Amino acid sequence: MSRDRRMERVEPFVPLRPVPRRRLIVRVVVGPLLWLVALLVAAIVLHRTRAIGVGFAIGFGCVLVSLVVLSLLRAGRNREQRRFGPAR
């Protein structure tokens, strides 16, 4: 391959800074709450509180299940990180 066709130097990959823990927690809490508020507003506007209430209960159940599963996954990941040391 000729020298003219070589690629120019590529800058090294620099990962983004991790999101601060406080901001991450706020997003995890506020996001589902906004969905629940939207369901309540829809229930009031549409006057179908029973059907919306069922959707609200299903949504709330999904949020709780996902919170438990994600907490367990995070605890397992933290346990593995402590066990095997920092990533290289």
Three-class SS state of 48? coil
Is the predicted pLDDT of residue 6 greater than 70, yes or no? no
Residue 70 lies in a domain: yes
Structure tokens at 64: 């709780």
Residue-range definition of the domain harbouring residue 45: 22-84
pLDDT level of residue 13 (50, 70, 90 thresholds): confident
Share of the chain above pLDDT 70, in %: 86
Residue 41 lies in a domain: yes
pLDDT level of residue 88 (50, 70, 90 thresholds): low
Which helix (H) or strand (E) segment is 63 a member of? helix 49-84
**Higher local confidence (pLDDT), 77 or 3:** 77
The predicted model gives 51-56 an average pLDDT of: 76
Structural domains of the chain, count: 1
Residue 38 lies in a domain: yes
